[in-house]
Structure 1
């Protein structure tokens, strides 16, 4: 089966929304941008052996690829609209593509995000996803808005991505229910789209945690010309794995592990009550972990003692 046949048989059946004037099958898709909105666009690439283990099931690669890309839209407070896909395959494996496509389109439908085009070519297994979203002008959550004394929050739990990878690599064992939880967190991370949109107008800055809390909070601090003080005792970690490792390992995974795709965001003091009320109501699962400081640098403290972490997030070319 050549690439055109694969597209016709699997990808051309993608469900499209009313904002797609022309979808898959022509040289370009024709899209209808929401009136009065800014388009938010981001692209992520996943390479076998680097971003997911060799031999990982096609269905899991599909959901991971789209989820990690949608997480960028969540960090900006954007609504997901469309995405395009570039798929590089070692060979035209029709059953593999069928499994990949079925999982991809189902996951896309759950987030109301339509596949509108892309490309298939031959080479080492690589998946590139470009997502398109919409946000009201001058409301997007950016990295550069944090101010001294803003409170730092994170959604969900940290360290799950690193713990999951250790389980997949058979370097770490947990009970079956916890193994299922961690595999789900790795194969199908949750893009915090609803949380990101909820935070528009309240958070002063935001980023998704892909390279680790230390590295990604560092991006907020660099863009905002500020620093941060983080209380590591406040870091939320899942009991699915936390009780099975030492404190040092747990903190290392939570601070530097990456692949959590949670949101790290900052909130001005005068808006803290709003966020805390959302948390009490169950509308937002988030934890306050520290504050933004005027002085540069990120300080991780435990009972007044500053901790040092060697790893500062994944870097492709180090």
Structure 2
């Protein structure tokens, strides 16, 4: 059975042209671009919590990196370097080869170098640290929203949670939604180009990882204001002959509180609406205006039905500890 360093060399040692010194020493050495700040984020993916143990390893490799790049996208940062640490229950070289294929495909797609990491034996657990660059004072944060700003979200939040519900047998999705939703769950697309384009345009931003309402609530709390979301302005989800009341209810819950979408939710003044529309066309990415920020209790998010009446939801997002 190959040892730890053999596995690293075989599957994860790749050229790192952007690093001064890549894997092989006690530390990697990187040289940030002069005049830039470093943005650093770390995420863990744990088998049984963030993904099914039998998830396709190539897709898992992609997602493990993509969710970290999504955090950089939310700050408007340019991805540069990543490290990967993982606990593996056994040495399965076929699994490792496929995982590495997906991981490095994502790295190549978004122009990042894998500059180090670690492996150990244990329950399947993946931990990635990603580093990016942003001009001083230009990073998008959660605290910049102003009363009167409009609320936007990219893509179609809810698809990933619907994909999970489909795999768990909690919902039967009409065609062609199953493949679309499961792909969104297993191979999310970090909105790096959108985040970079929103610098100087958006007032605040966050990536939707724990649920749209919960993550929007973080913007509202950090910005010291409240948020209103209009159901009639949300993106459309599955429709068709099998789109019954039960599916409609589950789809709405997934859209507002499901999480795992890795779309960007952001705020911007009304004067930016035309520029945002042009940006959507340029990126070929739907951008939806779903509500507005207003004066009120900091962090409060209210959802309004088509008649303008507030609607309450038992859950607004995912909490690892609340879910035991």
TM-score bracket for the superposition, by shorter chain length: over 0.9
Q: Deviations over 1:41-83 (max 9, x none)?
A: 0000010000011211211221111111110000000001010
1:210 paired residue number: 209
2:216 and 2:273 mapped to 1: Cα distance? Answer: 19
Q: Is the 8 A contact 2:237 2:251 kept in 1?
A: no
- The corresponding residue for 2:319 is 315
CA offsets, 1:135-161, max 9 Å, x none? 011000000000000000000011111
Number of paired residues?
A: 316
Write the distance in 1 (CA, Å) between the matches of 2:269 and 2:107.
34
CA drift of 1:242 comes to 11
1:174 aligns with 2:178: no
Tell me the equivalent position of 2:287.
286
Aligned to 1:105, the other structure's residue is in SS state helix
Change (3 A) 1:101 1:280: closer
- In structure 2, the residue matched to 1:63 is 62
Residue aligned with 2:41, SS: strand
- 1: CA distance, partners of 2:242 / 2:201: 35
**Structure 1: distance between partners of 2:108 and 2:244:** 37
Q: Distance in 1 between matches of 2:281 and 2:103?
A: 34
Q: Structure 1 residue 230 and structure 2 residue 229: aligned?
A: yes
| 2:301 paired residue among 295, 298, 302 | 298
- Counterpart CA distance in 2 for 1:60 and 1:283 is 23
| Cα separation, 2, equivalents of 1:241 and 1:221 | 35
Distance 2:117 2:244 in 1: 43
In structure 2, the residue matched to 1:54 is 53
CA shift, 1:281, in A, is 4.7
Q: How do 1:262-281 residues align onto structure 2 when only pairs under 5 Å count? A: 262-281=263-282
Residue 198 of structure 1 and its aligned partner are, at CA, apart by 0.3
Gapped runs of 5+ residues in structure 2? Answer: none
Aligned-pair distance for 1:273? Answer: 2.3
- Return the offset for 1:238: 3.6
Q: Are 1:201 and 2:235 matched, yes or no?
A: no
For 1:183 and 1:5, the matched residues in 2 are separated by: 34
Matches within 5 A, 1:113-152: 113-152=112-151
Cα distance, 1:257 vs structure 2: 0.7
Contact 1:81–1:134 (Cα < 8 Å) also in 2 = yes
What does residue 16 of structure 1 align with?
16
Q: What do residues 61-112 of structure 1 show as CA deviations (whole Å, max 9, x unaligned)?
A: 2111111111000000000101000110001222211111122112210111
* SS of match in other structure, 1:300: strand
Q: What TM-score results when the alignment is normalised by the length of structure 1?
A: 0.95
Tell me the C-alpha RMSD between the 2 structures: 1.7
Query: Structure 2 length as normaliser, TM-score?
Result: 0.93
> Quick one: distance in 2 between partners of 1:182 and 1:129?
24
Give 1:131 deviation, angstroms: 0.4
Query: Is contact 1:159-1:237 (8 Å) kept?
Result: no
8 Å Cα contact 2:60/2:102 also seen in 1: no
Residue aligned with 2:301, SS: strand
Give, in whole Å, the separation in 2 of the partners of 1:271 and 1:6: 50
C-alpha distance in 1 between matches for 2:86 and 2:241? 36
Name stretches of at least 5 consecutive residues in structure 1 with no aligned partner: none
**SS of alignment partner, residue 43 of structure 2:** strand
| C-alpha contact 1:237 1:254 (8 A) present in aligned 2 | no
